[in-house]
């Protein structure tokens, strides 16, 4: 979306010219499912689907938020406490980002008008929420006369907004990838530090997203329940993080855990090891090995972490039958959302359509299919 188009839409909604325009990409989680808040490592990529934010100082003393070119405008007293719910729940993300700036001792405008635009499918597990938090923080800092923070600090602000003001106990994966993303690269995060690095993306590889159309909402309790089970298991086994366990030490302590805790811990330990092997595969440009790791990751999410769904499993199974598909797995928090497929550059629209038709024939809604490229991270326009 061009700057001129964004400015035009902002003027239609608020009657003034935007002072700041920013953007942040969605992300795909390549591998490292739920390892981030357990102290492990993850690999993700920024994608060429974005959230854009345009903002100006408020004409009134209130905060005004609009989502899309025609949606209702929400007007908020800056002294508002608590979370929004129902149709206004989306306001928690930009309002939380604004509140987080003060928590980080950063300047912020006392009131503002803000328009959100996006070509990211909502609820598909591509981190539209993280992109919105980062783009909002950048735009509001610009309004307050502050230059953009370092990517690590921007990611921390976004994660704080999601943890504190949205109520999702996420790790740094989503915000970190959206902040650090670079075209033709993947982002590796050691989440404990956190420490960020870039890995070249093999030019012969492609990513496809198959959105199951099962909207996932991490604030509905499933994500928090998995987070709690992991933290409980770490406490019982006497380690700061589940990734501190080895296969041997986990096996010795399994009898102390409930069935659910044991499965969650095993998934995290094995998934973190898969991330390390994925780095080796990427460095060797071994896409076959990388695809096998993605497949193993999905099976673990399905049977151990239990955050998959029949629709996601169907898509993964159908994709594995297609030539040119190295591997496929659910991407993001799970409980709905999307599947990511790693393919050769010979996998095309005809094969993607065939998978969608077969999936629909099995009684599922037709998936939204998207061919994705890597993209740069959050920035001002």
The Cα–Cα gap between 172 and 39 comes to: 10
**Residue tagged 């981030």 (tokens):** 36
3-state helix, strand, coil in the chain (%, to 5): 45, 25, 30
C-beta of residue 154 within 8 angstroms of C-beta of residue 137: yes
Q: Among this protein's residues, is 48 annotated catalytic?
A: no
C-beta of residue 198 within 8 angstroms of C-beta of residue 180: yes
Catalytic pick from 4, 174, 286, 376?
174
- DSSP character at residue 121: P
Query: Cα-Cα-Cα-Cα dihedral of 72, 84, 132, 372, to 10°?
Result: -80
Q: Enumerate residues 6+ apart whose C-beta is below 8 A from 253.
A: 236, 237, 245
Longest dimension (CA), the chain: 65
C-beta of residue 53 within 8 angstroms of C-beta of residue 116: yes
The Cα–Cα gap between 350 and 157 comes to: 42
> What are the residue numbers of the active site?
174
């Amino acid at each position: 979306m061009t700057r001129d188009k964004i400015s035009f839409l902002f003027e239609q909604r608020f009657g003034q010219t935007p002072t700041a325009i920013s953007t942040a990409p969605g992300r795909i989680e390549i591998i490292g499912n739920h390892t981030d808040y357990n102290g492990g490592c993850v690999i993700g990529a920024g994608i060429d689907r974005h959230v854009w934010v345009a903002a100006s100082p408020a004409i009134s003393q209130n905060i005004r938020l609009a989502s899309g070119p025609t949606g209702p405008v929400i007007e908020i007293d800056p002294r508002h406490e608590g979370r929004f719910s129902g149709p206004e729940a989306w306001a928690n993300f930009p309002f939380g980002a604004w509140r987080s700036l003060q928590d980080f001792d950063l300047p912020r405008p006392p009131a503002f008008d803000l328009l959100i635009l996006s070509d990211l499918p909502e609820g598909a597990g591509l981190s539209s929420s993280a992109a919105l938090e980062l783009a909002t923080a950048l735009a509001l800092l610009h309004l307050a006369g502050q230059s953009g923070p370092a990517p690590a600090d921007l990611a921390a602000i976004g994660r704080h907004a999601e943890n504190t003001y949205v109520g999702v106990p996420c790790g740094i994966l989503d915000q970190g990838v959206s902040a650090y993303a670079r075209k033709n690269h993947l982002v590796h995060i050691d989440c404990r530090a956190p420490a960020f690095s870039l890995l070249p993306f093999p030019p012969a590889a492609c990513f496809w997203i198959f959105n199951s159309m099962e909207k996932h909402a991490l604030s509905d309790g499933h994500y928090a329940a998995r987070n709690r089970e992991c933290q409980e298991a770490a406490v019982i086994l006497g380690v700061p993080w589940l990734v501190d366990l080895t296969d041997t030490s986990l096996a010795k302590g399994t009898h102390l855990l409930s069935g659910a805790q044991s499965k969650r811990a095993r998934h995290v330990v094995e998934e973190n090891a898969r991330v390390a092997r994925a780095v080796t595969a990427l460095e060797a440009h071994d896409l076959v090995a990388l695809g096998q790791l993605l497949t193993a990751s999905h099976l673990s999410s399905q049977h151990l972490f239990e955050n998959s769904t029949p629709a996601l499993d169907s898509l993964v199974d159908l994709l594995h039958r297609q030539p040119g598909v190295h591997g496929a797995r659910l991407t993001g928090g799970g409980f709905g959302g999307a599947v990511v497929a790693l393919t050769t550059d010979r996998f095309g629209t005809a094969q993607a359509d065939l998978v969608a038709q077969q999936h629909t024939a099995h009684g599922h809604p037709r998936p939204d299919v998207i061919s994705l490229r890597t993209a740069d991270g959050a920035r001002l326009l």
